Chains A and B, each alone.
Chain A
Amino acid sequence: MASKAMASNTVASKTLPSQTLPGGALRNIVPPIVLALVLILCWQGLHLATASGAISSPAATLARLVVLMGSSRFWLDVAETGTAFLWALALSIVLGIGLGVVLAWLRPVGEVMEPILVTFYSLPKVTLYPLVLLIFGLGMPAKVAFGIMHGLVPITLLTRNAISQLKPVYLRTAKVMRLSAFEAVRSVVLPAIIPELVAGIRIGFSLSLLGVLIGEMFASKRGLGFTAVNAMGLGDLDTIMAIGLFLALFAVLANGGLLSLERAIRHRSAGR
């Protein structure tokens, strides 16, 4: 699924400049459609090549998804996962940016903390899930915490990195204008790194979602992750594939939106 999302990004980035050319609309629409068709054909090919039923066919997956989307249980799961995900993402962004600013500002602290954060991040966080459950108990807070454990670190590191790469003359200008540290962060540092922040949020987005879903798989009675793992136990491959397809479509759309936002901001302030 991840490779699918990445492939469609590359196509989108290649077709962007052609918008101004005549027939641009056509050129923008055709490649993604061709790509989608190729991916569906590959999927069908895999379905035929693998042992019976190991990979559901596109048609069966879609049919299952339509059935799922007709049930109220499915939408309760979506709401449950969505709520946990939005909380995890919002907190990852706020805490990640805040922590990134602090680590960039207190340079020695940042230098000590960076390898620690990277090491923490390379741990499979599932191994820490029992700890999270002991602290937060079963339910929403544990899922949100697990989402944050995935989303926070990349946003923190990208924010810190963006600030440390900031042109020093911006900070000198802020000083000469006699801005307080808070004012300097609010009106110079954060606006200056907005393109990098959006990129960080884009990555944090995927990882928070991943964290929440994993959380649901291991200790939850509701949500898409729980339903998927439940279907796994029952050998219901169509449902697993249908949920995967639903999540992939959501991720591709959200990622595309954030990517075009990032590009719009970069385009405006290009030539820095």
Chain B
Amino acid sequence: MTVLAMASRDAPKAAVEPPAASLRGVTRHYRFPGGGKTLHALGPIDLDLRQGEFFSVVGPSGCGKSTLLDVLAGLNPPSEGTASFEGKPIAGVPDGIGVVFQEDASFPWLTVEANVAFGLKRAGIGQAEIERRVDYAVGFMGLRDFRQSYPAQLSGGMRQRVCIARTLVLQPRLILLDEPFGALDQQTRLIMGDELLRLWRETRATVLLITHSLDEAAMLADRVGVMSARPGLFIDVIETGWSKDRDSRIVADPRFGEMTGRIWEKLRAETMKHMQTQGAGPR
């Protein structure tokens, strides 16, 4: 199958380029309110995101995946260690990072068009350029017929497209996605996955996708980071070796099954560990 050409030839070159973002010894502790007890949620984590790669993170629920994303997005500082984006330490949300959340974050009081233009208006970009970029993003995400609609009139999948388009127009160099298709059905997820791949190829942005779906991680990513139960650590990082022009049809390839099998093997023990720590008794 042509879709499954061998590992991308760019890979060795990417390795010598400076990383898009990197984490060094990053941990995150939460303090319980009103007590000295702390929860060790994450790390220590070392991670280099290569320039322009598609990196997926899978792990059992509650393993700190979203905490990891918050650190990269500058929404929460690490408790220890350093996080940097394009060589500069992350303090506050850096310019050039776009985030798509799991929950529907479209603004119900704005039309689709106004939602997409939201960030651009506040960035002080000229009207003609705003129109050009919104036009492009709305067309790219298949929202052209819904420009004047309100989110309440759209399905969950369409609303998530609005959120992706709203991020896309800002032309981020690093896109962080926190289980963006978590609330969608399986077929819609596959289609949205294809669109995400198309977007990634077109924008050449670096993408970090957090997901709890093995299939999604295996199908979309160049590398899959498998995380342990809390405190979240990378127990393995698997190179998928898919070609850059892959799409959702690889789910039919035997090597796709092998890949998800490998990831699940790593994850199975962790997931069981997580279930045990959660306690089996009813509450």
Residues of A at the B interface (CB closer than 8 Å) are: 167, 169-170, 172-173, 175-179, 183, 187-188, 191-192, 194, 268-272
Contacts of A177 in B (CB 8 A): 118-119, 122, 170
DSSP class of A's interface residues: helix, strand, loop or mixed? helix
Q: Does the CB pair A269–B119 fall under 8 Å?
A: no
Q: Does the CB pair B95–A176 fall under 8 Å?
A: no
Contact of B152 among A169, A170, A178, A270 (CB under 8 A): A270
Q: How far is the CA of A194 from the CA of B110 in the complex (A)?
A: 12
Scan residues 90-141 of chain B and give those whose CB is less than 8 A from a CB of chain A.
Answer: 92-93, 95, 97-99, 101, 103-105, 107-110, 118-119, 122
Please name 5 pairs of A and B residues whose Cβ atoms are closer than 8 Å in the assembled complex, sorted by A.
Answer: A176-B99, A177-B170, A178-B92, A192-B109, A270-B152
DSSP class of B's interface residues: helix, strand, loop or mixed? loop
Q: Does the CB pair A191–B75 fall under 8 Å?
A: no
Residue B264 at the A interface, CB < 8 A? Answer: no
B153 to chain A, nearest CB (A): 8
Q: How far is the CA of A178 from the CA of B73 in the complex (A)?
A: 11
Residue of A nearest to B109 (CB): A191
Residue of A nearest to B97 (CB): A176
Q: Does the CB pair A183–B122 fall under 8 Å?
A: yes
Q: How far is the CA of A271 from the CA of B95 in the complex (A)?
A: 32
Q: Does the CB pair A170–B107 fall under 8 Å?
A: yes
A67 to chain B, nearest CB (A): 48
Contact of A178 among B95, B105, B110 (CB under 8 A): B95
Q: Does the CB pair B152–A272 fall under 8 Å?
A: yes
Q: Does the CB pair A269–B95 fall under 8 Å?
A: no
Inter-chain pairs besides A191-B109, A192-B107, A269-B152, 8 sampled, C-beta below 8 Å: A176-B98, A177-B170, A178-B93, A178-B95, A187-B118, A192-B108, A271-B108, A271-B152
Contact of A172 among B75, B107, B118, B170 (CB under 8 A): B75
Contact of A268 among B93, B104, B122, B152 (CB under 8 A): B152
Q: Does the CB pair A173–B105 fall under 8 Å?
A: yes
Q: Does the CB pair B152–A175 fall under 8 Å?
A: no
Residue of A nearest to B121 (CB): A187
Contact of A170 among B73, B105, B170 (CB under 8 A): B105
Residues of B at the A interface (CB closer than 8 Å) are: 73, 75, 92-93, 95, 97-99, 101, 103-105, 107-110, 118-119, 122, 150-152, 170
Residue of B nearest to A194 (CB): B109
Contacts of B108 in A (CB 8 A): 192, 268-272
B97 to chain A, nearest CB (A): 8
A168 to chain B, nearest CB (A): 8
Q: How far is the CA of A179 from the CA of B123 in the complex (A)?
A: 9
Contacts of B110 in A (CB 8 A): 191
Q: How far is the CA of A175 from the CA of B93 in the complex (A)?
A: 7
Q: Does the CB pair B150–A269 fall under 8 Å?
A: yes
Q: Does the CB pair B93–A176 fall under 8 Å?
A: yes
Q: How far is the CA of A255 from the CA of B150 in the complex (A)?
A: 27
A228 to chain B, nearest CB (A): 42
Q: How far is the CA of A175 from the CA of B151 in the complex (A)?
A: 21
Residue in A176, A268, A272 whose Cβ sees the most chain B Cβ within 10 Å? A176
Contacts of A172 in B (CB 8 A): 75, 99, 101, 105
Contacts of B107 in A (CB 8 A): 170, 188, 191-192
Q: Does the CB pair A169–B150 fall under 8 Å?
A: no
Q: Does the CB pair B105–A268 fall under 8 Å?
A: no
Residue of B nearest to A188 (CB): B107
Q: With contacts A175-B93, A271-B108, A271-B152 known, is A169 near B75, CB below 8 A?
A: no
Residue of A nearest to B103 (CB): A169
Contacts of A170 in B (CB 8 A): 105, 107
Q: How far is the CA of A183 from the CA of B124 in the complex (A)?
A: 13
Q: How far is the CA of A172 from the CA of B76 in the complex (A)?
A: 11
Contacts of A176 in B (CB 8 A): 73, 75, 93, 97-99
